[in-house]
Structures are given as C-alpha cells and as structure tokens.
A and B are shown apart, each in its own frame.
Chain A
Amino acid sequence: DAGVTQSPTHLIKTRGQQVTLRCSPKSGHDTVSWYQQALGQGPQFIFQYYEEEERQRGNFPDRFSGHQFPNYSSELNVNALLLGDSALYLCASSFDEQETQYFGPGTRLLVL
C-alpha cells in the first residue's frame, strides 16, 4: 500500500519564477492538504482540496494556487517566487476532512 508521494524531492528556483509541486495521496484517500514548513517552524496550512475543489484556505496570498485531479492527486503552484517561499512543502492526505492526515516526504524548495 503506497503512502503519500511527492515530487520533486528538491527544487531550486530564482526569484520571480513559477513552480509546480505534485502529490499523490495514499490509496483510498480523497482529501489533500498542502503545508509550508519554514526552517525551524511548524507546518503552516496553505489549503485543502476535496472533490477537485478548494474547500479551505489558510492565510496565504493568491500566488499560491492548487488543483486536484479526478484521481485525487494534486498540484501546488506558486507564482512570482520570493526568497521567503524557500521552505519544505508538505502534502497530506486523508479520507475525508475529519480523519487523520498522513504526510508525504515533502519537497524542499530553495529560492535564490
């Protein structure tokens, strides 16, 4: 039973560029959430997707957008990258919003 997978594992971008991160949920899960974890901090909730729609959003600007596909996989897009966007981006999946979230290994993004 495959767990949550994320790609790529590492990424280096320059300011102003755009990035797309990908996530495949755990088998049987239909809800995907994205988090940003800056160095030395706890994860911060970006948004959650369910049935291909954004159901809940944290305090992140519109530069952060996402998508969920019919197979429940998801993408996180960040436009106009800033140095402060450098972080570990974690994807978590669950069966329904109420259930325990299981996390992927994360994508480490470095913005230069």
Chain B
Amino acid sequence: AQKITQTQPGMFVQEKEAVTLDCTYDTSDPSYGLFWYKQPSSGEMIFLIYQGSYDQQNATEGRYSLNFQKARKSANLVISASQLGDSAMYFCAMREGAPNTGNQFYFGTGTSLTVIP
C-alpha cells in the first residue's frame, strides 16, 4: 500500500480564491509527522507546514493551513487567497517512526497547482 496518496494530479484555482490539496496517509505507527512541500519549476523543495501526530490543533503558517483528520488519515493543505506565485508542484510527505528508531520520509506523487489570473 502507498504510504502517501495524492489523488489530484492537477488543480486550477482563480487568483485570490482558496484551494484544498488532498493527501491521505497510511501508517500503523502512533508517532508520525506530516509535511507539505512546494516545488517550483526550479526544483528546490520548499517547506510549507508541519503537523505532528499528537498535535491537537491544525497547523497554520500564514496563508497555509493543514486540515488534519486523524481518524480518516487525511492531511489536506488549504491555501487561502491564492497568488500567481503559488503555481507549482505540491508534495505531501510523512515521517514515520518514534525518536531514535531511524526515520524516513515518504512522499506522494504530487499535485500540480496552477493559479489563473
């Protein structure tokens, strides 16, 4: 089974509108972390937001928020007030494992977001 599933290969959003990028994950480990990264065409992965498995509240970072639904194993990214510069690939990732056990990251296949003027 895939550890991270992103079912939206491509998304379009009007400038200044909000958009939700979907992510579901699969783990039986109680300790894990969920991340979203943005990858522009230049290739560098830019960290956006983090949610720990024990965090009670949804994470927010500026215009980014993470809709964490633990029972459904989903960690959707919400971008508010989209800007043209938000056009990029977006990857959901999961760090699995307890401290000092040797963690690794799993990435989804990404969602290409295009912001329309």
Q: Which A residues lie at the B interface, using CB under 8 A? A: 33, 35, 41-45, 48, 55-56, 58, 88, 90, 92, 96-98, 100-106, 108
Asked if B95 contacts A43 (CB within 8 A), the reply is no
Q: How far is the CB of B52 from chain A (nearest CB, A)?
A: 9
Q: Chain B contacts of A102 at CB under 8 A?
A: 47
Asked if A105 contacts B44 (CB within 8 A), the reply is yes
Q: Chain B contacts of A103 at CB under 8 A?
A: 37, 44-47
State whether the Cβ of B28 lies closer than 8 Å to any Cβ in chain A.
Answer: no
Q: Chain A contacts of B33 at CB under 8 A?
A: 98
Asked if B102 contacts A43 (CB within 8 A), the reply is no
Beta-carbon nearest neighbor of B92 in chain A: A42
The count of A-to-B residue pairs whose CB atoms sit within 8 angstroms is 62
Q: Chain A contacts of B25 at CB under 8 A?
A: none
Contact of B45 among A48, A56, A92 (CB under 8 A): A92
Beta-carbon nearest neighbor of A104 in chain B: B44
Which of the candidate stretches B11-19, B70-78, B80-88, B104-112 sits at the interface with the other chain?
Answer: B104-112
Q: List 26 A-B contacts (CB under 8 A).
A: A33-B104, A35-B107, A42-B4, A42-B91, A42-B108, A42-B110, A43-B91, A43-B107, A44-B107, A45-B105, A48-B103, A48-B104, A56-B104, A58-B104, A96-B99, A97-B97, A97-B99, A97-B100, A98-B103, A100-B35, A101-B35, A101-B47, A102-B47, A103-B46, A105-B44, A106-B44
Q: How far is the CB of A23 from chain B (nearest CB, A)?
A: 13
- In angstroms, Cα B45 to Cα A45, docked, is 14
- In angstroms, Cα B43 to Cα A44, docked, is 15
Beta-carbon nearest neighbor of B49 in chain A: A100
- In angstroms, Cα B95 to Cα A106, docked, is 20
- In angstroms, Cα B95 to Cα A12, docked, is 32
Asked if B105 contacts A98 (CB within 8 A), the reply is no
Which B35-82 residues have a C-beta within 8 angstroms of A?
A: 35, 37, 42-47, 50
